[in-house]
């Protein structure tokens, strides 16, 4: 199947009520997945978790009905971070795990993503098979074979203990004051408990989800309120998660935002110094050039994958490395988790602070971010700027003007008809001038 109808780069996602994010479709999806993952001759179970958006109730029920119709038992986890569902799927020996979430999107969006029995995201061949089965009519198993649903009551406690186990038992956060921004999302219960149980004084914010306020001006995509909270409370640092708990951004004691690129650098540098890095680091095409320079200075191998955590993961596995991620704060520590985990990534940063006796601000000072500017240019759907002679010529001109002191990147968005035009370099005014110029060239070429 070359052109997939439903699956994108991270499951199936869209606006609630618009195809395919409808109860009817999700019912069929549950049935198709249940049929695919059902083990012959024995009862199979699939776990379902969700974030805090209001439509989660509706889609949880639809999935449950579809899975039951296929003859699969269903374990309901309730609101839990995405990486917790990956972990619990493994520990329960479930056939698969399903997450109802649209990650950092607003409440009116939702999506469905899947984990295999090993806690990894599904590969393309499995997703293609699900799409094929979606074209079939639902056939309900005999009444005696229908799946049963059960609630997993100790899910939170299991995951909290697992998070704590990823750092040495001697680590203590006693004496630290941490502001936690949980985005009114899936981490609202478990995250404060993890850091409190490790000894920190936790000031939780955005921990009152009402179904509509997830990611609304809070969380890793809106860290401005966390900056203010860190200053107001004179905290040692702040930690912001996104709605489903797989992204993390931090704020140092002075109120400076520490993004995913800088957090990956801090973890990598600490592991390098303590001989725990296990190879190199994988970033993406959007990783700040300053990170690449900092890794080179430490002698740490660094490679860029395509944008998207699945491509980071593929390159990590191919290279046999353990650490990678994106500037958005989606960080993968493969020795601790099978997918991006915001709590575990934050704990790795705190471990570095504890082992080195330095503040967050001091640890990030080893990397200097280069000025980077990105503009989105709306284009006709099939326009490829790299095949346009005018764009190609102007890209060469921009590259020449940077004189080896920066990067140029043109990248089509995976979700909308937009070309992302990015320029970075040491000279901020020049970066702004060049990105404006190149964006204008792309816009003109696409309309000709």
Enumerate the active-site residues: 103
Strand partners, 238: 179, 251
DSSP state of 143: G
3-state SS of 358-394 is CCHHHHHCCCCCCCEEEEEEECCCCCCHHHCHHHHHH
Spatial distance between the Cα atoms of 58 and 50, rounded to a whole number of angstroms: 11
Identify whether 20 is preceded by a cis peptide bond (ω within 30 of 0): yes
Contacts of 105 (CB under 8 A, 6+ apart): 13, 111, 215, 243
Cα angle at 104 between 318 and 326, to 5 degrees? 30
CA 300, CA 394: separation in Å to the nearest integer?
33
Give all strands of the β-sheet with 73-79 in edge-to-edge order.
12-15, 109-116, 96-100, 45-50, 73-79, 149-151
For residues 134 and 130, what is the distance between their CA atoms, to the nearest angstrom? Answer: 6
Hey, how many other C-beta atoms are within 10 angstroms of the C-beta on 157?
Answer: 11
Q: Is 99 helix (H, G, I), strand (E, B) or coil?
A: strand
Encode burial over 188-213: b for 16+ CB neighbours within 10 A, e otherwise: bbbbbbbbbebebbbbbbbbebeeeb
């Amino acid at each position: 199947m070359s052109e997939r109808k439903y699956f994108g780069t991270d499951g199936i996602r869209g606006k609630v009520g618009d195809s395919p994010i409808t109860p009817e479709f999700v019912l069929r999806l549950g049935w198709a997945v249940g049929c695919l993952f059902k083990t012959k001759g024995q009862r199979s179970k699939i776990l379902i978790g969700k974030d805090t958006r209001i439509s989660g109730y509706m889609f949880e029920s639809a999935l449950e009905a579809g899975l039951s119709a296929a003859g699969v038992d269903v374990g309901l986890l309730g609101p839990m971070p995405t990486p917790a569902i990956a972990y619990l799927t493994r520990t329960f020996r479930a056939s698969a795990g399903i997450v109802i979430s649209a990650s950092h999107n607003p409440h009116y969006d939702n999506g469905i993503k899947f984990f295999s029995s090993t806690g990894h995201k599904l590969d393309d061949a499995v997703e293609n098979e699900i799409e094929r089965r979606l074209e079939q009519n639902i056939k309900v198993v005999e009444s005696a074979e229908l799946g049963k649903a059960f609630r997993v009551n100790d899910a939170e406690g299991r995951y909290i203990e697992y998070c704590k186990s990823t750092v040495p038992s001697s680590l203590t956060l006693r004496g630290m004051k941490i502001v936690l921004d949980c985005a009114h999302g899936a981490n609202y219960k478990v995250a404060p408990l993890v850091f409190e149980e490790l000894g920190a004084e936790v000031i939780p914010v955005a921990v009152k989800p009402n179904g509509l306020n997830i990611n609304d001006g809070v969380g890793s995509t809106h860290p401005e309120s966390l900056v203010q909270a860190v200053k107001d409370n004179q905290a040692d640092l702040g930690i912001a998660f996104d709605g489903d708990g797989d992204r993390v951004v931090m704020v140092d004691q002075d109120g400076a935002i520490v993004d995913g690129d800088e957090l990956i650098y801090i973890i990598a540098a600490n592991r390098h110094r303590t001989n725990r890095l296990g190879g190199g680091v994988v970033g993406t095409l959007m990783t700040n050039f300053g990170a690449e320079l900092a890794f080179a200075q430490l002698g740490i191998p660094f490679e860029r994958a395509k944008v998207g955590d699945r491509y980071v993961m593929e390159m990590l596995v191919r290279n046999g490395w353990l650490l990678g991620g994106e500037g958005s704060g989606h960080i993968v520590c493969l020795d601790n988790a099978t997918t991006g985990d915001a709590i575990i990534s934050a704990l790795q940063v705190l471990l570095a602070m504890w082992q080195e006796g330095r503040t967050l601000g001091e640890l990030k000072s080893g990397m200097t971010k280069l000025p980077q500017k990105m503009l989105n240019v709306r284009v006709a759907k099939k326009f490829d700027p790299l095949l346009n002679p005018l764009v190609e010529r102007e890209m060469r001109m921009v590259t020449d003007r940077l004189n080896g002191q920066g990067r140029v990147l043109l990248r089509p968005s995976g979700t909308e008809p937009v070309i992302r035009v990015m320029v970075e370099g040491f000279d901020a005014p020049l970066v702004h001038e060049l990105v404006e110029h190149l964006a204008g060239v792309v816009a003109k070429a696409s309309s000709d």
